[in-house]
Amino acid sequence: MTLAPPPALPVVGRASAPTGAHGLPLLGCRVRAGFPSPADDHLDVDLNLHDYVVRRPASTYFVRAEGDSMLGDGIHDGDLLVVDRGLEPRSGRVVVIAVDGEPTVKRLARRGGRTVLLASNPRFAPIPLEGRECHVWGVVTYVIHALPGASS
């Protein structure tokens, strides 16, 4: 496997900080996903989402996911993926990779001494990489998607 730039991937955009980017307010408390508790309704600091999800702008890009093979990892069709080419594509990480020229997003794994790609949807079989041309385009670091009904 080699680490290569994404030549044919429909990249949404580079990760350079937008000019005039403004931070949005960040609440100074965490929000429980279980039983509600009294909220601290004060603002802590301004948050620039770009600063939060892009650690290395020179090696980071955004791309849209397609399909449902990674639903178990919270990656839905149309989600925006933040991909860092500077991270090592180790076993267990979700990567954007071209296999025989076809880009895909899957979890890199070792099984029985062999490297495979795993979908997190049980409908999809593992993809063995032995004997195939593979180019890793980066490690997925964040997934951004709207909740159902939130964007309508």
Give the residue numbers annotated as catalytic, written as ranges. Answer: 69, 106
Distance, CA of 88 to CA of 115 (rounded, Å): 15
* β-pair partners for 134: 99
